[in-house]
Amino acid sequence: MSIQSDRQSAEARFRVVFSHLGAVTAYARRRGSRDPDGIAAEAMTIAWRRLADVPADEAPALPKGAKAPLKSGNAPKGYEIKGNADSGLYHEPDGQWYDATEPEFWFKSAEDAEAAGFTRAGGGTAKEDDK
């Protein structure tokens, strides 16, 4: 391989990593960071520097309690909650943005999504609505 094609391959791989910037920022924000954008930028810088250490064919793991969309893009049976990895939000069927959201993950319940670190779209938690 030439240096140019190695560079292009690395850039293509990094674009996949970089697509998770929003999720990294959301995670830092949920953890109370004063500078979530700075934390996410630093994480991306480290990812670029260490890209060669990551196996090229390793698929990201699904969050606990999540299922991947079916090949059709539809939800697996019994899974109605949409998880958005970029925003770190989950969407319920009666939510404002449910129909517009393309899920990376599906959850059986809001509680499963929250246990996996996702935040309810629109704020609050499923438990707060039960009160």
Per residue in 30-87, pLDDT (tens digit) is: 888 899 999 999 999 998 888 887 666 554 568 889 998 888 889 999 999 999 887 8
Is the model's pLDDT at 12 over the cut of 70?
Answer: yes
Is the model's pLDDT at 88 over the cut of 70?
Answer: yes
pTM of the predicted model, to two decimals?
Answer: 0.53
pLDDT band at 122 (very low <50, low <70, confident <90, very high): confident
Per residue, the 3-state secondary structure of 15-79, as one string, reads HHHHCCHHHHHHHHHHCCCCCHHHHHHHHHHHHHHCHHHCCCCCCCCCCCCEECCCCCCCCCCCC
Identify the pLDDT of residue 50: 86
- Average pLDDT value for the chain: 83
User: What are the residue boundaries of the structural domains of the chain, listed by start?
Assistant: 3-53, 66-130
Identify the pLDDT of residue 58: 52
Higher pLDDT, 2 or 15: 15
